[in-house]
Every structure is written in C-alpha cells, then in structure tokens.
Amino acid sequence: MIAEPHKIKTVRNIKFLSMMDRIDALQNANYNPFKIKSDKVIFDMTSLGTSAVSHDQYSGLYIGDETYAGSRNFEKLKDAVLRVYGHKDVCPTHNIKGSHKLIVATMVKKGDVVISNSHSPSELIKDKGATIEYLSDKSHKMYPGNLDLAKLEAKLKEGVHVPFIYMEAYASGYRPVSLENLKAVFALAEKYKTVFVLNVSYAISNAQYLRKNEAAYKGKQLAEIVKEMGTTAHVIVIEAGQDPRSNTGGLIASNVYELYDKYMNEVVLYEGLHTYGGMAGRTMEVFARGLDEMLKEEQAEWIDVQIEKLSSLLKNVPHHKGADGVYIKSDEFLPNCKQYANFTLAAALYLKAGIRTFLLNRICPECSLLPLQIPRLSLTMDQITQIAEAVNQVYAERNKINELVLTNSPAWSDEAEFKWKRPVMDAYHFTCEAYTIQHFEYFGTCSREERLKEMKEAGYNTFLLPNKFIGIDLLTDSGTCSQTTTAWSKYILSSET
C-alpha cells in the first residue's frame, strides 16, 4: 500500500515553534517534556487516545444515550465485543487502568503471586501486598512476549496462590506473542485452576505480525485472528485509546459469568454503574464503532506501513519496531548517560524539533526505552519522514548531549525536574503539513467487476455514480475541502435565525 485508504475531513493546525520558543518551554518544564503544554508541542508522539477518528465515529458523539442505567450505547458496545472478541459479558471501565484496578481489587489478596509478561498491573498488585513475577521468554527471537511455559508450570506446581496469569498481546508495545503460546497458557491455567487474563489493546498489530510470520495465518482475515486470540483467555481487557482509536474508555469481558459477576458488583465502587463504568454514552458509541473499524484490512495495513516507514528511516538508531511506533534504546543512543538517558533523549528531541515523547509510570533509572509512537491515522507520510530525519539528526549530534541532572526526588515520571547543560544543536525546520488529522472519511472500495457494473448502470457517466463506489473524487465544488477544528466549531456555535 502506498497511500492512505481515507480522505481527510478535519485537521487541527499546529505551529512550527522556533528554537527559542522551545528552549523557553523546556526551561519552564524543568526539562521534562511531560510538563510542556500541548500548544508548545509540534508533534506529540504518543498513541494513547490521540489517534484520528473516522467521520462515523465522530458522528457517534451526537447519539450518546446519557442515561445512568441501561444505555443503548452500552448494548451496542456489548454486541461489538461479542462480534470482535467472542466474549458475551462486558464490564465497562474508564480506561485500562480502571480494568486493572477492578481485576486486582476483586481477585488479589495479600501473599498472592501474579505471573505476567508485562509490568502494566504491577503497582496495583504490590499495593495489595502481593507480588508479580515476570516470566517472559525474551530469548524467543520471533515472539519475545511469550511466557516461558516451563517456568510458568513450575511456578504453578509450587502451590502458591496465583489468582490470575496476565499477558499482553504485544507486551510493552514491542514484544509480540504467538497464538500457540496463548493457547498453551490457557491450558495451564485450566489445569491448575487459575484464570488467564489477556490484554488485547494491541490485538490488531499482533494479528498482523502473526499473519506475516506464520504460514497458518497468511490467508486469514484480521477478524478471524483477533477473535481466535480473544477466545484463548478467560478474561480480556481493552484500552479503547489504542486499536479502537477512542479518546478514552476501556472494558473487561468474559464468557465466565462467575468472574463477570465479581467485576459487575464491584465496578460501581471504582468506576460507575455496570452499564457505563465511568464512560459517557457517547464515548461507548465511539468505542463500539472503533472496534468494528479497527478490523478494516486497508486501515490496518496503512498503520503498519507507517510504522515500518518510520523504523526503516531511522538510520543506525538503535530501536525496537513496535505495535504503534518505535521504541528507542536510549542507553545505546546516548551511551555516556548513566541514569537518565531516556529523559535526556526526550529533552533533546524536543529541543531539536519540538517533537514530544515522554515516559509514564514510576521513575526507573534502569529502564532505557523511549517510546516514539505514531498516533494512528493522525499523521501524513511526509510528516513521519521528517520526524525520522529529525531523530537522525539528533543521533548525528549525540556526542554533544550531556545527561540531565535530577533536582528533586520524584516517585513518578511526570513529577521529575532536571537541570541541564543544554547542548548547542542545529534546529530542525519542518516543511511538511502544519496540521494533524482529527477525523477522516473512508474511501469507497470495490472490485474492478463492481466498478464496471456500476459504470454500465450509470450509462458510463461518472457524474451519476454513487459515492460509495468512488475511491478518489477530484471534484472540488460543494464544500469538498477539509476544514480545521476551528472552522467546524463555528457550526456548533451558529444560531439559525
């Protein structure tokens, strides 16, 4: 695929800030890009809740059923989850952290051990006086997100109480898992009478990876693979801000009613009633529509093409290619930095080009990866190309970059403050589009045979063709141009007198 399978409907203008503007913003943020205000950022390279939405998703905002109980949007969300993942009982939450909170609150007790391939739920588990053990098979070259089955069974045989086994499809954003491993973990969970919880927030990327690397999946549709993944677990959790491209939202789903019943009865304490779980009706509508749309083959391919393009353009830059972008090995990028290479690189990228990357969760001096994530369908290929050029230029100037010095005692990454002997770097000047995509419209797609049939029925007059059979429409009359978010907002404010 060489072009996006949609046309742009609405854009948000961005300002290409000068180097002096960026220096001021960095200083005001104590050199922690997490603290920089969004209007001081050129490209915000995070994928969580920042993706573009389709015009169908956007229209869902206007049919939100904002009732306290029994929202029609919740029923639509339930139907979508059953159709896409094969789980019938759904407990909504406000995001993935809400899902983790509810599962840990209802299933974990002091002294328990949770086995995982990811650090995601670790804080909540430790707060309960339990422990988490990471048994990823990182030596597996193709599937480093797999759990080590021998170690897993050995731990289960010990007799310690394991309330659940937790796995992420595409663990930590860059370690894919095999379906064979998921099925084996499920079998061990059944054998030792525990529960297998699978995070399917990156299911599309994991399915794409399976299809590229395993002959058994090459001819299968994404919908088949994703459903097969979903039904390998007793419980699934989803972050709506990832594959479904919603701004927020999450859920827990299961075919085991006894588990669902626990979540349903507790969700009101943490999130909201069990038919909204902290989400507005309009959010559930956007979420539900996104679940169906994420299975579109052309869309998934375009997202993958952009990730592949970004990765391929990073010349000699040490990184992992992930589910939503690249994960830069900051300790190898900046080998002279001993503790805060990732924070230092984040500051250098912002200084150089106004590109923001940032770190979540607790301060972790031994953690070195810096995510450079692509907001799904929000950037053009020219923008991605120039972002890669900026990263390459920082890499070329890496010997100029001194490590940040921490000046406070933060627990969390967003609290960190630094001082910096700021390097003198050449500014990067963007010449690409000065906007990000907010929402889009899918092109009409049809086969050659369908086009011939429609052309014949239209008397070979293309003006009479229905738009659903049009790929690219080069007519420019009657308001066919994209608009900015500012222009669209005026429609809402208008008074029809």
Residue 71 has pLDDT above 90, yes or no: yes
Dmax (CA) of the chain: 75
Q: DSSP secondary structure string, 411-442?
A: SBGGG--EE------PPP---S-SEEEEEEEE
Q: DSSP secondary structure string, 58-83?
A: HHGGGG----SSS-HHHHHHHHHHHH
Confidence of residue 454 (pLDDT cuts 50, 70, 90): confident
Give CA separation, 451 vs 5, 297, 333, 425, in Å: 17, 20, 51, 54
Give me 197's structure tokens: 């919880």
pLDDT tens for 110-122 read 999 999 999 888 8
Q: Which of 207-211, 377-381, 487-491 has the lowest mean pLDDT?
A: 487-491
Strand partners, 6: 442
Structure confidence at residue 51 (pLDDT): 96
Residue 193 has pLDDT above 70, yes or no: yes
CB 173 within 8 A of CB 324: yes
Give CA separation, 475 vs 11, 471, 479, in Å: 20, 12, 10
Mean pLDDT score across all residues of the chain: 94
d(CA 65, CA 11): 27
Structure confidence at residue 1 (pLDDT): 59
Give me 397's structure tokens: 């100037």
Residue 83 has pLDDT above 70, yes or no: yes
Q: How many CB atoms lie under 10 A from the CB of residue 306?
A: 23
Q: Which residues contact 447 (CB under 8 A, 6 or more apart)?
A: none
d(CA 44, CA 357): 7
Give me 250's structure tokens: 């999450």
Residue 136 has pLDDT above 70, yes or no: yes
Give me 205's structure tokens: 């990327």
Q: Which SS3 state, helix, strand or coil, does residue 473 take?
A: coil
- The highest-confidence range among 83-97, 134-148, 435-449, 458-472, by mean pLDDT, is 83-97
Give 470 or 175, the one with higher predicted confidence.
175
Confidence of residue 463 (pLDDT cuts 50, 70, 90): confident
Q: What is the mean pLDDT of residues 308-321?
A: 97
Nearest to 213 by CA among 109, 295, 141: 141
Residue 351 has pLDDT above 70, yes or no: yes
d(CA 424, CA 435): 28
pLDDT tens for 195-216 read 999 999 999 999 999 999 999 9
Give me 163's structure tokens: 């309330």
Confidence of residue 446 (pLDDT cuts 50, 70, 90): confident
Strand partners, 93: 250
Structure confidence at residue 294 (pLDDT): 97
Give me 309's structure tokens: 């393009």
Confidence of residue 26 (pLDDT cuts 50, 70, 90): very high
Backbone angles phi, psi at 392, to 5 degrees: -60, -35
Structure confidence at residue 480 (pLDDT): 76
Tokens 């992992």 belong to 320
Strand partners, 131: 113
Residue 477 has pLDDT above 70, yes or no: no
d(CA 346, CA 358): 6
Structure confidence at residue 476 (pLDDT): 67
CB 251 within 8 A of CB 238: yes
CA 211 remoteness from chain centre: 20
Q: What is the CA radius of gyration of the chain?
A: 24
Pairing of strands 53-54, 435-442: parallel
pLDDT tens for 216-229 read 999 999 999 999 99
Structure confidence at residue 3 (pLDDT): 80
pLDDT tens for 391-418 read 999 999 999 999 999 999 999 999 999 9
Cα 106-113-359 angle, rounded to 5 deg: 85
Residue 13 has pLDDT above 90, yes or no: yes
Q: Which SS3 state, helix, strand or coil, does residue 124 take?
A: helix
Q: How many CB atoms lie under 10 A from the CB of residue 221?
A: 13
Structure confidence at residue 478 (pLDDT): 61
Amino acid at 236: I
Backbone angles phi, psi at 105, to 5 degrees: -60, -35
d(CA 156, CA 115): 9
d(CA 146, CA 141): 10
Listed in order, strand segments (DSSP E) in 24-149 are 43-44, 53-54, 89-93, 113-116, 131-134
Q: Which residues contact 398 (CB under 8 A, 6 or more apart)?
A: 333, 334
Q: Which residues contact 138 (CB under 8 A, 6 or more apart)?
A: 144, 175
Structure confidence at residue 469 (pLDDT): 81
Q: What is the mean pLDDT of residues 137-147?
A: 91
d(CA 73, CA 286): 9
Nearest to 369 by CA among 404, 415, 322, 403: 322
Give me 417's structure tokens: 């403050």
Give CA separation, 136 vs 84, 164, 172, 381, in Å: 27, 15, 11, 34
Tokens 């169906």 belong to 292
- The highest-confidence range among 2-6, 137-141, 270-274, by mean pLDDT, is 270-274
